[in-house]
Amino acid sequence: MPPYKLRTILRGHELDVRGVAVISDNQLATASRDGSGRLWDLSYQPDATTDSVFCYNSPDGSFINSVAYVSETEQPLVAFGGKDQIVHLCPPVESFSKPGDDLGLYQLIGHTGNVCSLHALGKQLVSGSWDCTAKVWDLTSFTTKYDLVGHTAAVWDAKIVSSSDEIYLTCSADKTIRKWVKGVETACFRGHNDVVRKLLVLPGALQFVSASNDGTLKVWDLASGKVLQTLEGHTSFVYDLAYNSSGDIISTAEDRSVRIWRNGAIAQVITLPCLSAWCVTVLPNDDLAVGGSGKEVYVFTTATKRFATQQGLQEFAELVKLSTISEQSIDNLKKTDLPSYEALSSPGKEEGAVIMVKSPAGVIEAHQWSGGEWMKIGDVVGSAGGSSDKKEYGGQSYDYVFDVDIEDGKPPLKLPYNANENPYAAAERFLAANELPSSYADEVVRFLLEHTKGFNIEQQDAGAADSIAMDDEQFLEDQPNIDTSATMFPQKMFIKFVDFKAEVLFKGFQKLNSNQLEEVAFKESVINDVEAALKNLTSAKASFLITSVIPQILSKWNKSSKLIGYDFLRICIPRITIADIIKSTECGEALLNPILVSLKEVDETDLPVVMMMAKVLCNLVTSPLFAQMFLTVGDNGKVTLNEYFEDLNQNLIVTVKVFATIEGSHTLKHYETAMSSIASFLYNLLAYVFTNRTLGAERSSLQALWFGAEELGVDLIDAGEESAYRLCVTLGNLVAAGLVKDLPPWYKTAQTTYATNRFLEIYKDIEVLLK
- Give the pLDDT confidence of 424-455 residue by residue, as tens digits: 778 777 877 776 766 566 667 766 765 664 33
pLDDT for residue 249 is more than 90: yes
Do the beta carbons of residue 129 and residue 148 sit within 8 Å? no
Lowest average pLDDT, out of 98-112, 158-172, 541-555, 672-686, goes to 98-112
Helix (H, G, I), strand (E, B) or coil at 664: coil
pLDDT for residue 360 is more than 50: yes
Strands (E), 730-770: none
**Model confidence at 326, in pLDDT bands (50, 70, 90)?**
low
Lowest average pLDDT, out of 189-198, 217-226, 601-610, goes to 601-610
Phi, psi of 664 (to 5 degrees): 80, 5
- List of residues 6+ apart from 437 with CB closer than 8 A: 130, 431
Lowest average pLDDT, out of 5-14, 58-67, 532-541, goes to 58-67
Helix (H, G, I), strand (E, B) or coil at 265: strand
Do the beta carbons of residue 22 and residue 30 sit within 8 Å? no
pTM here is 0.55
pLDDT at position 367: 86
Could you tell me which residues are beta bridge partners of residue 143? 138
Q: Which residues of 95-133 are buried (b: 16+ CB within 10 A; e: fewer)?
A: ebbeeeebbbebebebbebbbbbbbbbebbbbbbbbbbb
- Using CA atoms, how far residue 108 sits from 124, 127, 146, 755, in Å, is 12, 10, 13, 56
pLDDT at position 425: 73
**Mean pLDDT, residues 503-529:** 91
Alpha-carbon dihedral sign for residues 756, 759, 763, 769: positive
Residues recorded for the chain: 771
As a whole-number percent, the residues of the chain with pLDDT over 70 amount to 79
Checking phi first, is residue 104 left (phi over 0); if not, alpha (psi -120 to 50) or beta?
left
pLDDT at position 212: 94
Residues 49-55: contacts with CB under 8 Å, at least 24 apart:
49/8, 49/9, 49/10, 49/11, 49/312, 50/8, 50/9, 50/10, 50/11, 51/10, 51/11, 51/12, 52/10, 52/12, 54/92, 54/93, 54/94, 54/96, 54/97, 55/12, 55/97
pLDDT for residue 115 is more than 80: yes
- Using CA atoms, how far residue 83 sits from 34, 111, 143, 521, in Å, is 11, 10, 20, 44
The model's pLDDT over 537-579, given as tens digits with 9 standing for 90+, comes to 888 888 899 989 998 998 889 888 888 998 999 999 888 876 6
pLDDT at position 235: 85
Cα separation, 601 vs 72, in Å, equals: 60
Cα separation, 685 vs 540, in Å, equals: 26
493 or 99: which leads in pLDDT: 493
**Mean pLDDT, residues 159-183:** 95
Reference 253, options 291, 298, 303; nearest CA is 291
- List of residues 6+ apart from 771 with CB closer than 8 A: none
471 or 652: which leads in pLDDT: 652
Do the beta carbons of residue 205 and residue 162 sit within 8 Å? yes
Dihedral angle over CA of 565, 567, 569, 574, nearest 10: -170
pLDDT at position 268: 93
Arithmetic mean of pLDDT over the chain: 80
pLDDT for residue 505 is more than 70: yes
741 or 629: which leads in pLDDT: 629
Cα separation, 623 vs 621, in Å, equals: 6
Identify whether 46 is preceded by a cis peptide bond (ω within 30 of 0): yes
Task: Please give the domain boundaries of the chain with CATH numbers for all domains.
Answer: 5-322 (2.130.10.10), 327-381 (no CATH), 483-495+606-771 (no CATH), 501-601 (no CATH)
Cα separation, 725 vs 359, in Å, equals: 57
Report DSSP letters for 397-415, one per residue.
Answer: EESEEEEE--STTSPPEEE
pLDDT at position 99: 38
State which of 111-125, 324-338, 564-578 shows the largest mean pLDDT.
Answer: 111-125
Cα separation, 510 vs 456, in Å, equals: 49
**Mean pLDDT, residues 8-24:** 90
Quickly list H helices, 637-670: 643-661
Reference 546, options 524, 561, 530, 563; nearest CA is 530
Phi, psi of 156 (to 5 degrees): -80, -25
Distance of alpha carbon 370 from its chain centroid, rounded?
Answer: 34
Helix (H, G, I), strand (E, B) or coil at 186: strand
Helix (H, G, I), strand (E, B) or coil at 281: strand
State which of 50-64, 436-450, 628-642, 723-737 shows the largest mean pLDDT.
Answer: 723-737
pLDDT for residue 102 is more than 50: no
**Model confidence at 720, in pLDDT bands (50, 70, 90)?**
confident
Cα separation, 205 vs 201, in Å, equals: 6
**Mean pLDDT, residues 211-237:** 94
3-state secondary structure 18-30: EEEEEEECCEEEE
Cα separation, 173 vs 115, in Å, equals: 14
pLDDT for residue 459 is more than 50: no
pLDDT for residue 388 is more than 50: no
Radius of gyration of the chain (CA): 29
State which of 35-49, 329-343, 528-542 shows the largest mean pLDDT.
Answer: 528-542
Cα separation, 418 vs 422, in Å, equals: 8
**Mean pLDDT, residues 44-51:** 50
User: What single-letter DSSP state applies at residue 710?
Assistant: H
pLDDT at position 529: 93
Q: How many CA atoms lie within 13 A of 49 on its CB side?
A: 8
pLDDT for residue 21 is more than 50: yes
Cα separation, 309 vs 478, in Å, equals: 54
Reference 165, options 200, 206, 218; nearest CA is 206
**Mean pLDDT, residues 464-488:** 31
pLDDT at position 482: 36
Helices and strands of the chain, counted as H and E runs: 19, 39
- How many angstroms separate the first and last alpha carbons of the chain? 59
Cβ-based burial of 45 (10 A; exposed 0-12, middle 13-18, buried ≥19): middle
756 or 145: which leads in pLDDT: 145
**Mean pLDDT, residues 759-770:** 85
Cα separation, 536 vs 523, in Å, equals: 21
Reference 368, options 321, 322, 327; nearest CA is 321
**Model confidence at 684, in pLDDT bands (50, 70, 90)?**
confident
pLDDT for residue 293 is more than 90: no
CA angle centred on 482, ends 481 and 487, rounded to 5° = 135
Do the beta carbons of residue 749 and residue 731 sit within 8 Å? no
- Using CA atoms, how far residue 508 sits from 163, 407, 503, 534, 607, in Å, is 67, 28, 9, 12, 19
**Model confidence at 681, in pLDDT bands (50, 70, 90)?**
confident
Alpha-carbon dihedral sign for residues 340, 343, 349, 353: positive
pLDDT for residue 471 is more than 80: no
pLDDT at position 103: 47
pLDDT for residue 191 is more than 90: yes
Distance of alpha carbon 490 from its chain centroid, rounded?
Answer: 22
pLDDT at position 230: 96
326 or 565: which leads in pLDDT: 565
**Model confidence at 672, in pLDDT bands (50, 70, 90)?**
confident
Alpha-carbon dihedral sign for residues 325, 328, 333, 338: positive
pLDDT at position 646: 79
pLDDT for residue 387 is more than 80: no
Cβ-based burial of 350 (10 A; exposed 0-12, middle 13-18, buried ≥19): exposed
Helix (H, G, I), strand (E, B) or coil at 433: helix
